[in-house]
Amino acid sequence: MEGFDNKNLLQQQAATGIADPSLSPSNTGTSASQSKGSSLQDAALERSLNAVLAPDEQQSVGSVPDDHNHAPVTNVNFQLHVALDQVANAKELDQSKVVKETSFRDNLGAKGDFINPKGGTNVVIGSGDSDIIRGTGRGFNTITTGTGKDTIILGKETTNRIFDFDPANDRFVLQGINPKNIIIAQGKNPGKGGLNQPLDSVNNTLIIDKKTEHILASLTFVNSSSINESHFATDTREAELSLKNIKELGFKNQKGNGNIEGTTGRDRLIGGDGNDFIYVGDDGFSFNTAKGGGGTEFPFKTDSPGTSELTPTLKDGVLSVSGSYKDFDGFPLFSQGEREIDPNAKILSGANPQALIDGFLKVPKDVEGNLLSGTHLHFSPSEDSRGSFADATVVRFFENTPIDAKSGTIKGEFELTPEEQAALLAGNMYINIHSNIDGDKNGKAGFPTGENRLNFNQNVVQFA
């Protein structure tokens, strides 16, 4: 499926019995004195938790309760807030079912990392073990947790875009946020745009602070029905104190600005107040070979006998991909210099085939200057536990070299941004091979909408 079936928020209130009157259009909320008292308690808790952090983690905490900054200083264009009438399937947490965190040490794996990117616009790529990632620095974080049972700490005025949140393993801890103010909802925004799809995409679960409508977390390709009270705990002084001296557990301490690369062991990685890239390191993962064919392409299944294989590597931010295809019904699109659709080509989407070609021809190069081809890198997962999605926004163009009318090679070498690296290692990239032109004159001329799809999904990406 490409998205989820969303319903209107007010319909969901009636169906799920949301109790908080502030969500009802016929009520304006609790009394001023109750709100002020609650805000004072929340602010005091936030200051208390901050006071026990290690000196290199402490941050300035506003003295005015709920002094919400509606425009955090980041260099992203995402909308970090969403009105509650613009989301679907909204539900509150039952505060009585949210436990208190007592020790973060108990949640760190044998090779897991503790990561705090702090402020700014940051990218975090975790390890193959259980990590703790503090997303409380009042900035914007793009996070790939890696594998393991990971913990993401959420704080006020901070937005965390999480590419690979696993409801079966991962969870949140709320720092200075009352669980009664948490809303879990499904996005309703149909907008596409590759890695720049809106945070409230229909494919994403949102964790929202209902008092400020701030998006605390956007979980890409997650259904909100899979998130509940079991995924949340509240922070405590006891839990924070458990992290104060983790060097004694063998953690290597690194902190600074810019790029911070971890080791294969336990690391404590602390960013600065600027824009940081905190990274598991090139030896923290590997890739299996991705395979396409067999009529399983999403969203357009084909009856082609064609198959393909691609093997990726990622080193120093450079993605190199090489492989081949064979038994295709048509040449790869644009490999023959064509500007029109072969009359014998199969169009599976119901779209205007010439409009498809014309759309590609309008962008003859990708962001790195690679020339137009019919083999594209896109953003979205498929064929793993998350379901199947597709976003037609092209990330990069590959180079096709036909050997004969049915087979050939594919290669590409791209310098990926930190965000693109995070998406790749989250298993959120795919390649599709569009084809066209009947090369062997057998009456079959390929599939301009895509003959094979190869998924660099979570079955292909392997964390160490």
CB contact burial 379-405 (16+ within 10 A = b; e otherwise): bbbbbeebbbbbbbebbbbbbbebeeb
Question: Which strands form 452-456's sheet, in the order they lie side by side?
Answer: 396-397, 375-379, 429-433, 452-456
Q: pLDDT (tens digit, 9 = 90+) per residue, 364-421?
A: 999 999 999 999 999 999 999 999 999 989 999 999 999 999 999 999 999 999 999 9
**Range of 69's domain?**
9-280
Question: Is 1 inside any structural domain?
Answer: no
Q: How far apart are CA 449 and CA 433, in angstroms?
A: 9
Which tokens go with 83? 């009105």
Whether residues 305 and 335 share a domain: the answer is yes
Buried b (16+ CB within 10 A) or exposed e, 100-134: ebeebeebbbebbbbbbbbbbbbbbbbbbbbbbbb
pLDDT tens readout for residues 72-83: 556 678 999 999
Check whether residue 299 and residue 242 sit in a common domain. no
CA 372 to centroid of chain Cα atoms: 27
Give the Cα separation of 322 and 328 in Å (integer).
18
Confidence at residue 24, expressed as pLDDT on a 0 to 100 scale: 32
For the chain, the domain total comes to: 2
Q: Is 264 helix (H, G, I), strand (E, B) or coil?
A: coil
Instruction: Please report the pLDDT score of residue 20 as a whole number.
Output: 28
**Domain shared by 272 and 357, yes or no:** no
With a cut of 80, say whether residue 22 has pLDDT above it.
no
Query: Does 144 map to a domain?
Result: yes
> Using CA atoms, how far apart are residues 390 and 34, in angstroms rounded to an integer?
46
Answer yes or no: do 340 and 420 share one domain: yes
Q: Is the pLDDT of residue 266 over 80?
A: yes
The answer as to whether 290 is a domain residue is yes
Residue at a domain's end among 252, 280, 308: 280
The pLDDT, as a whole number, for residue 365 is 95
Share of the chain above pLDDT 90, in %: 77
Residue 2 lies in a domain: no
The answer on 98 and 38 residing in a single domain is yes
How confident is the model at residue 16, as a pLDDT?
Answer: 29
Q: Look at residue 386 and tell me if it is in a domain.
A: yes
Confidence of residue 183 (pLDDT cuts 50, 70, 90): very high
Among left, alpha and beta (phi > 0; psi -120 to 50; other), residue 129 is beta
The answer to whether the beta carbons of residues 373 and 398 sit under 8 Å apart is yes
Coil, helix or strand at residue 396: strand
Same structural domain, 289 and 401? yes
Burial class (CB in 10 A: 0-12, 13-18, 19+), 52: middle
Residue 27's pLDDT is 33
Does 26 have pLDDT greater than 60?
Answer: no
Residue 3 lies in a domain: no
Least confident of 9-18, 117-126, 185-194, 368-377: 9-18
Pick the last residue of a domain from 223, 256, 280.
280
Q: Which residue has the higher pLDDT, 52 or 227?
A: 227
Which residue has better confidence, 20 or 418? 418
Query: Does residue 437 sit in the same domain as residue 409?
Result: yes
DSSP assignment letter at 180:
G
Identify whether residues 193 and 256 lie together within a single domain. yes
Q: Are residues 257 and 295 in the same domain?
A: no
| Domain assignment of residue 207, yes or no | yes
CA atoms within 13 A on the CB side of 283: 5
Question: How many Å apart are CA 140 and CA 129, to the nearest integer?
Answer: 24
Rounded to whole angstroms, the Cα distance separating 98 from 21 reads 21
pLDDT of residue 30: 36
Average pLDDT over residues 41-66: 75
In angstroms, the Cα distances linking 310 to 118, 219, 365, 456, 457 are: 37, 28, 22, 9, 13
Q: Are 276 and 419 in contact (CB under 8 A)?
A: no
pLDDT top residue among 269 and 348:
269
Tens-digit pLDDT profile for residues 135-177: 999 999 999 999 999 999 999 999 999 999 999 999 999 999 9
Q: Looking at the predicted structure, is the pLDDT value of residue 35 above 70?
A: no
User: 272 and 360, same structural domain?
Assistant: no
Q: Indicate if 130 and 150 belong to the same structural domain.
A: yes
Nearest to residue 311, comparing CAs of 409, 183, 228? 409
Distance, CA of 77 to CA of 61 (rounded, Å): 25
Q: Does 4 fall in a domain?
A: no
How far, in whole angstroms, is CA 160 from its chain's centroid?
9
The pLDDT score that the predictor gives to residue 82 is: 97
- Final residue in a domain of this structure, among 233, 259, 280: 280
Residue pLDDT, tens place only, 319-363: 999 999 999 999 999 999 999 999 999 998 877 878 888 888 999
What's phi and psi for 436, nearest 5 deg?
-170, 155
The C-alpha atoms of residue 279 and residue 127 are separated, in whole angstroms, by 9
**What pLDDT is stored for residue 18 in this prediction?**
28
pLDDT at 295: 85
Q: Reduce the DSSP state of residue 74 to 3 states and report it.
A: coil
| pLDDT over 90 at 284, yes or no | yes
- Sequence-distant (6+) residues with CB within 8 A of 179 are 93, 95, 98, 232, 234
Residue 129 confidence class, pLDDT cut points 50, 70, 90: very high
Q: Do residues 269 and 323 both lie within one domain?
A: no
Residue-averaged pLDDT of the chain: 89
